[in-house]
């Protein structure tokens, strides 16, 4: 590839690649529109992954996408903010184009992996079949995924992961039927992966998050709340990760919500417990994956006004960004270190969901 001729300067191609791989997606896209050469150069798989590997190590490339749904179910919209500074994030909001021709009436965010968000959208006012959509909020590219055997909107939860053995992105849908389904983006088709062991279904009424992907496997809480279930994405083998005895055994609790997530490269389990006069949030991490009983409780938060707390992101100093429901303000973001101020004070009042993503050039259209 004639990099010198395209740029009018004389630099080795590896240096050009190194420089461009550290630029924000928005800056790179300005070059992509200049010529066919730049479009080809920037779209090369090697460059795309080199750029992503730089981005995921750079806190300035981490963003928070916020989704607000009008309470009258008239539309959904989204905006994005940088995570480089929690204190300054109010001032750098940017509205995003919605990744479908018409703004949906409702949206479910399942997960985000490698800069790709897996969404479930419903374009009608009333409950109907959910369309699964894979969206890159950095490039605005998206694809509608094929329909599956699970047709009812609330029957399942989903996860997105990457199978390094086959160089393929895969989506797992776990429902309350006897089988789960797996979609390979390369093949473009779903298939059943056989009956799973008894009791491995997600906790339907209280699981707050989607499937968490780490070390080549999807993870979620089993019905018994005694272990985390994992499914290896390439071997398609189920295993169990034991939880400490009594982790979720609390008396006099009105309601409990649980979830599994991945923060800072670690598997995390969290719960929000409703007591008569307050809410209690607990957060554990698995620092040594594969080691028996290495769970550590990082922090415990009691609040009279915050509930449905979900961890979103772990900063380099270990502080965790939390997405919460606030009794007086709806959906808000706060940190585990400072609970006195509401983060993102200028966010829309009807904001009700969000996810953290890394800027990425990975195209969902090229994966399928």
pLDDT in tens, 3-42: 555 555 567 878 888 888 898 888 888 887 777 888 888 8
Q: Which residues pair with 207 in a beta bridge?
A: 258
State the CB neighbour count (10 A cutoff) for residue 148. 20
Mean pLDDT is lowest, of 103-107, 200-204, 253-257, 341-345, for 341-345
Contact 121, 130 (CB under 8 A): yes
Place of tokens 């070059």: 31
**pLDDT mean over 330-340:** 65
Contact 28, 38 (CB under 8 A): no
Q: Which residues pair with 335 in a beta bridge?
A: 321
Report residue 222's pLDDT band, with 50, 70 and 90 as the boundaries.
confident
- Asked if the model's pLDDT at residue 362 lies above 80, the reply is yes
- Spatial neighbors of 66 by CB under 8 A, at least 6 apart, are 78, 79, 80, 81, 344, 347, 348, 351, 353, 354
Report residue 89's pLDDT band, with 50, 70 and 90 as the boundaries.
very low
State how far the Cα of 290 lies from the Cα of 219, in Å rounded to an integer. Answer: 13
Contact 75, 103 (CB under 8 A): yes
pLDDT in tens, 252-307: 455 577 888 898 889 998 887 777 677 788 888 888 887 776 888 888 877 766 76
Domains and CATH numbers, the chain: 3-43 (no CATH), 54-367 (2.120.10.80)
What is the pTM assigned to this prediction?
0.81
Tell which wins on pLDDT, 26 or 336: 26
pLDDT value at position 354? 72
One-letter-per-residue 3-state SS of the chain: CCHHHHHCCCCCHHHHHHHHCCCCHHHHHHHHCCCHHHHHHHHCHHHHHHHHHHHHCCHHHEEEEEEEECCCCCCEEEEEEECCCCCCHHHCCEEECCCCCCCCCEEEEEEEECCEEEEEEECCCCCCCCEEEEEECCCCEEEECCCCCCCCCCCEEEEEEEECCCCEEEEEEEECCCEEEEEECCCCEEEEEEECCCCCCCCCCCECCCCEEECCEEEEECCCCCEEEEEECCCCCEEEEECCCCCCCCCCCCEEEEEEEEECCEEEEEEEEECCCCEEEEEEEECCCCCCCCEEEEEEEEECCEEEEEEEEECCCCCEEEEEEECCCEEEEEECCCCCCCECCCCCCCEEEEEEEECCCCCHHHHC
Contact 196, 238 (CB under 8 A): yes
Report residue 94's pLDDT band, with 50, 70 and 90 as the boundaries.
very low
- Asked if the model's pLDDT at residue 69 lies above 70, the reply is no
State how far the Cα of 327 lies from the Cα of 70, in Å rounded to an integer. Answer: 18
**pLDDT mean over 66-93:** 48
């Amino acid at each position: 590839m004639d990099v010198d001729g395209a740029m009018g300067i004389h630099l080795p191609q590896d240096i050009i690649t190194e420089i461009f791989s550290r630029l924000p997606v928005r800056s790179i896209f300005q070059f992509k529109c200049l010529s066919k050469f730049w479009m080809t150069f920037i779209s090369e798989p090697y460059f795309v992954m080199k750029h992503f590997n730089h981005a995921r190590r750079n806190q300035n490339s981490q963003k928070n996408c916020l989704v607000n749904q009008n309470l009258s179910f008239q539309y959904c919209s989204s905006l994005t903010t940088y995570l480089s500074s929690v204190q300054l994030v109010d001032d750098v909001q940017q509205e995003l184009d919605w990744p479908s021709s018409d703004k949906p009436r409702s949206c479910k965010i399942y997960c985000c992996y490698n800069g790709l968000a897996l969404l479930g959208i419903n374009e009608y006012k009333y409950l109907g079949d959910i369309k699964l959509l894979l969206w890159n909020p950095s490039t605005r590219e998206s694809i509608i995924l094929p329909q599956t055997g699970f047709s009812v909107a609330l029957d399942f939860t989903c996860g997105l992961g990457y199978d390094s053995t086959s160089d393929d992105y895969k989506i797992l849908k776990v429902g309350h039927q006897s089988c789960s389904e797996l979609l390979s983006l390369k093949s473009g088709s779903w298939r059943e992966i056989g009956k799973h062991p008894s009791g491995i279904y997600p906790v339907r009424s209280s699981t707050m998050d989607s499937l968490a992907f780490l070390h080549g496997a999807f993870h979620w809480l089993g019905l018994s709340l005694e272990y985390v279930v994992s499914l290896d994405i390439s071997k398609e083998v189920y295993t169990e990760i034991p939880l400490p005895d009594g982790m979720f055994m609390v008396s006099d609790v009105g309601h409990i919500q649980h979830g599994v997530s991945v923060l800072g490269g670690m598997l995390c389990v969290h719960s929000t417990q409703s007591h008569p006069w307050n809410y209690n949030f607990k957060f554990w991490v698995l620092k040594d994956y594969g080691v028996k009983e290495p769970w550590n409780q990082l922090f415990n938060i009691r609040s009279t006004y915050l509930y449905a707390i979900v961890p979103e992101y772990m900063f380099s100093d270990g502080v965790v960004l939390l997405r919460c429901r606030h009794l007086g303000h709806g959906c808000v973001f706060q940190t585990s270190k400072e609970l006195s101020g509401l983060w993102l004070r200028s966010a829309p009042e009807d904001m009700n969901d969000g996810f953290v993503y890394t800027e990425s050039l990975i195209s969902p259209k090229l994966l399928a």
